């Protein structure tokens, strides 16, 4: 599948900065169900003031999980359903998703890696995202 969870994470959202980065650490091939994603809620990119955009429900640099961790919306432009999760390191997960974005004519498959650095922070493509309040 093409890359965009969190690498090019939000898919089109990726384009808007919601891409996820691959984390360092030993690589495993353990399969994890979508319900076992280690992050839930809304996260905004620190450098782009993503949480402010999230609170205003405006287009911006943030992601928000929904459906018990089975999907997320990105930048206010895309809705993505998680189709698979694979643990790739102690705190890194490779996500496979199908995203529907406002600027795309049809759903797009995407792959990305999210690194959970703490309960309040994740990294997407090396960018720091913090939990929005």
Looking at residue 25, what is its pLDDT?
30
Domain for residue 84, yes or no? Answer: yes
Domain for residue 6, yes or no? Answer: no
Domain for residue 80, yes or no? Answer: yes
> Residue 71 in contact with residue 82, Cβ under 8 Å?
yes
Q: pLDDT tens track of the chain, all 133 residues?
A: 333 334 333 333 333 333 332 222 333 344 455 445 668 889 999 999 999 999 999 888 998 887 677 778 877 788 888 888 888 999 998 888 899 988 888 999 988 888 999 999 998 778 899 999 8
Domain for residue 110, yes or no? Answer: yes
Q: List all residues 6 or more positions away from 105 whose beta carbon is below 8 Å from its beta carbon.
A: none
Q: Report the chain's C-alpha Rg in angstroms.
A: 13
Whether the model pTM is above 0.85: no
- Quote the number of domains for the chain: 1
Domain for residue 1, yes or no? Answer: no
Domain for residue 53, yes or no? Answer: yes
């Amino acid at each position: 599948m093409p890359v965009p969870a969190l690498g090019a994470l939000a898919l089109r959202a990726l384009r808007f900065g919601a891409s996820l980065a691959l984390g360092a650490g030993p690589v495993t091939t353990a399969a994890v169900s979508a319900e076992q994603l280690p992050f839930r809620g809304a996260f905004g990119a620190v450098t782009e003031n993503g949480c402010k955009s999230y609170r205003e429900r405006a287009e911006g640099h943030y992601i928000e999980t929904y459906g018990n961790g089975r999907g997320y919306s990105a930048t206010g432009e895309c809705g993505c359903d998680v189709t698979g999760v694979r643990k790739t390191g102690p705190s890194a997960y490779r996500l496979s998703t199908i995203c529907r974005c406002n600027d795309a004519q049809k759903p797009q498959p995407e792959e990305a890696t999210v690194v959970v650095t703490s309960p309040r922070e994740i990294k997407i493509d090396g960018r720091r995202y913090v939990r929005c309040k």
